[in-house]
Chain A
Amino acid sequence: DSGVTQTPKHLITATGQRVTLRCSPRSGDLSVYWYQQSLDQGLQFLIQYYNGEERAKGNILERFSAQQFPDLHSELNLSSLELGDSALYFCASSDSENQPQHFGDGTRLSIL
């Protein structure tokens, strides 16, 4: 158990819809990271938050946004969903940069 909790585990929705993925980091971790893993591909870094503030941005689409709340949990919002957004979305947390990140078990998003 990594201590990182992601909900929901599975999400099925239709094109054009909007969804919110939730992540609770490990106790004490201030950094939260979001990754996307499409079929047979590696982990694509989307965005990082540190103590409520955006710290780094990767290959995140403009239709996607995220935030980290005062209690340090984070949400990833995906809007105007397209078939290609179907993927596993992982959240990870760490207590500081250049430390191992601890991953949740992911949310599997399926767009029909």
Chain B
Amino acid sequence: DQQVKQNSPSLSVQEGRISILNCDYTNSMFDYFLWYKKYPAEGPTFLISISSIKDKNEDGRFTVFLNKSAKHLSLHIVPSQPGDSAVYFCAASEYGDMRFGAGTRLTVKP
């Protein structure tokens, strides 16, 4: 039951460039989408979210895009910084029943 998929296990980007992390989902009933960042030995930390009535939400260097027709979610980080190196999880929720992707490990090289 993989309702939320992150097909890229890893991504490497040069400092200052754009990082684009992708996520696909299958359940059209999901109405709330989130991105979390996770450092080793810590719990996931909430980064940014978007409800299904929007197609874009921006917070500083982080922008989340939602394409409902394609059931696709993406996170853009501009500009990328070495401190952004972490595992990023996308999540989708239907009335609190939240499903997570397997994560993408982002490495930002100085």
Q: Which residues of the other chain, A, contact B96 by a CB distance below 8 angstroms? A: 31, 48, 50, 55-56, 94, 97-98
Minimum CB–CB distance from A21 to chain B (whole Å) comes to 13
- Residues on B lying within 8 angstroms of A by beta carbon are 1, 4, 6, 31-32, 34, 36, 41-46, 49, 51, 89, 91, 93, 95-103
Tell me whether B44 and A90 are in contact (CB under 8 A).
Answer: yes
Tell me whether B31 and A105 are in contact (CB under 8 A).
Answer: no
Closest to B102 in A: A42
The answer to whether A83 has its CB under 8 Å from any CB of chain B is no
How far is A92 from B42 in the complex, measured between Cα atoms in Å? Answer: 12
The answer to whether A101 has its CB under 8 Å from any CB of chain B is yes
Q: Which of A40-55 contact B (CB under 8 A)?
A: 41-45, 48, 50, 55
Tell me whether B93 and A43 are in contact (CB under 8 A).
Answer: no
* Those 3 A-B pairs whose CB atoms lie nearest each other, nearest first: A97-B96, A103-B43, A42-B102
Tell me whether B43 and A106 are in contact (CB under 8 A).
Answer: yes
Q: Which residues of the other chain, A, contact B89 by a CB distance below 8 angstroms? A: 42-43
How far is A106 from B31 in the complex, measured between Cα atoms in Å? Answer: 27
Known A2-B45, A104-B43; 5 more pairs at CB < 8 Å: A42-B100, A56-B97, A103-B44, A105-B42, A105-B43
Contact A97:B95 (CB < 8 A) given known A42-B89, A43-B100: yes
Tell me whether B32 and A98 are in contact (CB under 8 A).
Answer: yes
Closest to A90 in B: B43
How far is A50 from B103 in the complex, measured between Cα atoms in Å? Answer: 27
Contact A98:B31 (CB < 8 A) given known A31-B96, A42-B100, A45-B98: yes
Q: Which residues of the other chain, A, contact B6 by a CB distance below 8 angstroms? A: 42
Tell me whether B101 and A42 are in contact (CB under 8 A).
Answer: yes
How far is A90 from B91 in the complex, measured between Cα atoms in Å? Answer: 15
Q: What are 20 A-B contacts defined by CB distance under 8 Å? A: A2-B43, A33-B98, A35-B100, A43-B89, A44-B100, A48-B97, A56-B96, A59-B1, A90-B43, A90-B44, A94-B96, A97-B96, A98-B31, A100-B46, A100-B49, A103-B43, A103-B45, A104-B43, A105-B42, A105-B43
How far is A90 from B100 in the complex, measured between Cα atoms in Å? Answer: 13
